[in-house]
Structures are given as C-alpha cells and as structure tokens.
Amino acid sequence: MATNRVTLADVARSAGVSQTAASFVLSGRGAEMRISADAQERVRRAARETGYRPNIVSRSLRTGTSHTIGFVSDTVATTPFAGHLIWGALDAARERGHLLFICETEGDPDLERELIDAMHDRGVDGIVLASMYTRKITVPRALINGPAVLLNAVASNRSPIPSIVPDETDAGRTAAGVLLDAGHTDRIALIGAAPPRQTPKGSLAAVQRLQGIAETLDRAGVAMLDAIPCPEWQPRSGYEATRRLLEKTTPTALICFNDRLAVGAYQAISDAGLEVPEDISVVSFDDDLIADWVRPGLTTVALPHYELGRKAVHVLLDGGHDRSTGADARPAIHKIAMPLRTRDSVRVVAAAASEPPPGPGEVLGSPGPREVLGPSGPREVLGQT
C-alpha cells in the first residue's frame, strides 16, 4: 500500500466539512442526513479531485462487510473443464462489487478447515464451497461461522446451507427428448447406466440422468432396448460396453452417460463397420472439450459450469432470505438448467408425431423446443505460448 492514499479526513478538510458529513454524502445518505446541496457538491468535488477511494479494510472493520467472497474448491481451480465454475463466480462477483479469494483444498479436510478459517479471519462476506463433480459432501463445521453456499454439491448431513447443482434429471429428459423429437421411437440403448451402488462415490449424475431418461421414454411409450452399466465413466469402459451391446443387438440410437463414454462408443461403432449418425445416433452429457473435437460433433447436454458459478455468488449475496420462502426448513437446492448443444451425432428419422410440422427452413438439425441455450456460452478456449 502506498503511504499517500487520500483518506476521508483529507476529503472532509478540503471540502470544509466534518468527516461525518463527508461520510454521509459519499455513502449517498447526504439528503437523508440533511446536508445542504452546496456542502454535498463541495464534498463530491473534493473526492473527485483528490481521487479519493474509500479504504475497504477500515470500512470492513467497522461494518463487518468486506465486499469479498471466499471460493473454496477441492480441485476445481486449476482443472481445465470446470474452470468455468470460477469464471462464472468471478463475473457475478465483479458485477456486484465483490472480489474473490480463491483456494484449493486438494480434498484434504484439515487444509479445508484451515483455508475456510483463513477466509473468515479476513472477514469474507460468505464462502462458496465448490466441488469438482456434482456429489454429496459432508459440510465442514468451519463453514457455519458465516454465510455459505454449496456449489456443484449437496449436503449429506443436515445443514441449512443452500446448494447450486445442475438439473441432471431434466438433462436426462432433454437427452431422451432429442431422440424422440428426431423420430427415434425404438431401439434406444443406454451406455453407462449403473445401479446406484456402482456409481462414483456420492455422484448424483448417474441416478438422476437415468431417472429423467426413463421418465421421458416411459411417457412416450418407448421401451428401452438395453442398458449396459460401466464401472467407470472413461472412454475404455464406453468402448467395451458398446462392443458388448453390438454383439447382442442392433440399436439405432445410444444415450451415453457422459462424453468420454461416448468417445469410446464412437470407436466401437467404427470398429463394427457402422457410422455415426447414419447407422447409430448418439446423445451424451457434459459438453466436454472432446465433444467438439470428435467427428461427427457430439450432440450433448452441457454441464452449465459458468451459470452454476454465477448463481452460487448470487444466492450467497442474496442469501438468508431463502428460509423465508416457504415453511419447510430444508435448505434450498437451486437446479440450473443443462442446455443442449446440438451437433451432428443424431440423425433425423422423422418429425416427431407430437411436434408441429417443421417450417420451410428448419428441416435438419431439429433442435425442437427442448433446446435451452445458456444465457451466455463459454468463451473460446485459447492455447498457450
């Protein structure tokens, strides 16, 4: 810090009023506190001419609000895919005049406690506790020392802290809907579906995506052809599962439970001498980087990282009022829509019966009414050097 910062006392002296008056004027309470228009003008001019900026540290000491938020993540911060969580939080914080402390716990509970405490020591207005993938977590005790929200996570223990998570169930509906809308009313198989026990620890995506898919297919009276579980959601597993599926039967559409599984599925389909989407359509989840790299581009239901980050900050800053809405004591769980990214992996077989006939210009691609575009898409990812 430079030693020559202009203080409120300087401004007051230069305007010929008391520090109190200057404070009132600059905090917008001039009229309310009956400061004359003339004096107000003098104060404002002095502030402008001296380049006065209020010292937030001292304000924070007195008022207890620091215009600062803590962002504590397990490993999100330096992870390529979910850096958008931070980006959204950063943007929302800036819009509302806040700055973000960011740190990583690396999954270590002691470190987590230490970092949360360090943030409280610095008087943060609240803490965003973020998880790299959507899951249940046990809320650390240190968090109760102030306002907080859970980002990409829900509390496994009882806790009054609100959560922000992607709407995975609706994503399941969207994925199934894409196929239905494109006229696939038969021979739809699932890659990566797993009974709840076989799912990554605490992960919610597997269960909820399946639920949304099943609900939508049921409602349309479409039976599932098959559902192959995968031990882990990696390309290799997707490859194995799809190969086994193709040995048994011939699907015309696949719903893969994430993009990495879908990449494996692509490989297996190709190995079987078939093509996407001519022989088999593929829909998936996440909108991983690879979804745009594979050919044909993968139609997928995107994790709305940017929006999740934004929402977390907004809920945190507007927080506490959640409890007044409704009489239930359970903490709010805010679900963020997962937008569909339409690419080239779904073949349009026929317009869906339930859809209005397509207009002249929109024969191909058929996004249909299910497409939900995120309020602002991610920026292009840049290379290094």
Residues 6+ apart with CB under 8 A from 307: 88, 336, 337, 374, 375
Cα–Cα distance between 13 and 61 in angstroms, integer?
Answer: 23
Stretch that binds a second copy, among 60-68, 180-188, 342-350, 365-373 (CB under 8 A): 60-68
CB nearer to DNA: give 22 or 253.
22
Site size for a second copy (CB under 8 A): 65
CB nearer to a second copy: give 278 or 380.
380
Please choose, from the candidates 316, 286, 314, 310, the residue with its C-alpha nearest in 3D space to the C-alpha of residue 86: 310
Please choose, from the candidates 117, 106, 109, the residue with its C-alpha nearest in 3D space to the C-alpha of residue 142: 117
> With binding defined as CB under 7 A, does residue 376 bind DNA?
no
Which among a second copy, DNA, none contacts residue 286 (Cβ within 5 to 8 A by kind)? Answer: a second copy
CB nearer to DNA: give 64 or 326.
64
CB nearer to DNA: give 16 or 375.
16
Residues of this chain, 322-361, that bind a second copy according to CB under 8 A: none
Stretch that binds a second copy, among 66-74, 214-222, 320-328, 363-371 (CB under 8 A): 66-74
> With binding defined as CB under 8 A, does residue 103 bind a second copy?
yes
Which among a second copy, DNA, none contacts residue 35 (Cβ within 5 to 8 A by kind)? Answer: DNA
Site string for a second copy, 158-197 (x = CB under 8 A): ----------------------------------------
Out of 246, 303, 312, 346, the only residue in the binding site for a second copy (CB under 8 A) is 303
DSSP per-residue codes, 320-335: TGGGGSSS--SPPEEE
C-alpha distances in angstroms, 212 versus 3, 50, 199, 254? 60, 60, 17, 15
Residues 132, 269 contacting (CB under 8 angstroms):
no
Radius of gyration over every alpha carbon of the chain, rounded to an integer in angstroms: 26
> With binding defined as CB under 7 A, does residue 119 bind DNA?
no
Residues 304, 282 contacting (CB under 8 angstroms):
no
C-alpha distances in angstroms, 243 versus 136, 190, 239, 347? 32, 13, 6, 21
Stretch that binds DNA, among 19-27, 79-87, 246-254, 332-340 (CB under 7 A): 19-27
Residues 125, 67 contacting (CB under 8 angstroms):
yes
End-to-end CA, the chain? 33
Please choose, from the candidates 11, 337, 319, the residue with its C-alpha nearest in 3D space to the C-alpha of residue 171: 337
Residues of this chain, 264-293, that bind a second copy according to CB under 8 A: 285-286, 288-289
Site size for DNA (CB under 7 A): 28
Out of 14, 24, 73, 84, the only residue in the binding site for DNA (CB under 7 A) is 24
H helix runs in 31-189, sequence order: 37-50, 56-63, 83-95, 109-121, 168-181
CB nearer to a second copy: give 113 or 243.
113
Residues 277, 258 contacting (CB under 8 angstroms):
no
Please choose, from the candidates 271, 291, 383, 306, the residue with its C-alpha nearest in 3D space to the C-alpha of residue 343: 291
> With binding defined as CB under 8 A, does residue 233 bind a second copy?
yes
> With binding defined as CB under 7 A, does residue 203 bind DNA?
no
CB nearer to DNA: give 61 or 381.
61
Site string for DNA, 34-73 (x = CB under 7 A): xxx-xx------------x-xx--xx-xxx----------
CB atoms within 10 A of CB 45: 13
- Which residues contribute to the site for a second copy (CB under 8 A)? 1-2, 53-58, 60-61, 64, 66-68, 75, 77-84, 86-87, 90, 94, 99-104, 115, 117-124, 132-134, 145-146, 200, 203, 205, 233-234, 258, 260, 285-286, 288-289, 303, 379, 381-385
